[in-house]
Amino acid sequence: MLKLKTEAPEETIELGERLGEVLNSGDIICLQGDLGAGKTYLAKGILKGLGVEREITSPTYTLVNEYQGRLPAYHIDLYRVSDYKELYDIGFEEYLYGEGVTIIEWPDKAGSLMPDNYLNIIIKGHDNTRTIKVIPQANKYISLVTELKKNVDFSFR
Ligand SMILES: Nc1ncnc2c1ncn2[C@@H]1O[C@H](COP(=O)(O)OP(=O)(O)O)[C@@H](O)[C@H]1O
Ligand SMILES: [Mg+2]
């Protein structure tokens, strides 16, 4: 587990960029935290770090936004999903098990479609401070956390 800290929204974006830079094809990132925790800010950074140059908006209403950086990238927000069966309509599993990187806000809403292997990120905090815990679920993500550790500035520790 890697525990990081940010003191401003821009820092969370910057931290996301450092993660986006080390992601690999097929990686799944789950972002957990209350409304306003900073999941979308972190996702924006991750997408920037993946080389996405298009404007990045929250997929709250669209459920999924697709991007192309150095890898295909899918930003999914399940907040408005009330039944995981709705996920069949958006082809949720095709995103998860394809070549791209998938970022999921509110992953708990995926119910039984929740993947077994993913990088879990839990964001908590108040005012402008956020603690960001990065937890590898499955061995595949341990080396990713090591790469991230090497890629982040000490100011985040
Ligand atoms: N250190 C920080 N990191 C991220 N967001 C922060 C931070 N400090 C304050 N904020 C504010 O918290 C909110 C995070 O919004 P957002 O990323 O959309 O949340 P979520 O997607 O988790 O609901 C924004 O209004 C942002 O300005
Ligand atoms: Mg959000």
Q: Rounded to 5 degrees, what are φ and ψ at 154?
A: -65, -20
Q: What gap in Å lies between CA 17 and CA 55, rounded to an integer?
A: 15
Measured in Å, residue 122 CA sits from the centre of ligand 1 at 13
Residue nearest to atom 16 of ligand 1 (CA): 38
Q: What is this structure's pTM?
A: 0.98
Mind listing the pLDDT tens digit for each residue in 105-125? 999 999 999 999 999 999 999
Residue closest via CA to ligand 1's atom 14 equals 38
pLDDT digits (tens, 9 = 90+) for 18-49: 999 999 999 999 999 999 999 999 999 999 99
CB 60 within 8 A of CB 75: no
Pocket residues: Cβ below 6 A from ligand 1: 6-9, 11-12, 33, 35-41, 105, 128, 130
Mutation test residue for ligand 1: of 10, 17, 41, 58, the one with most atoms within 8 Å of CB: 41
Sorted by where each begins, the domain ranges of the chain are 2-127+140-150
* CATH number belonging to domain 2-127+140-150: 3.40.50.300
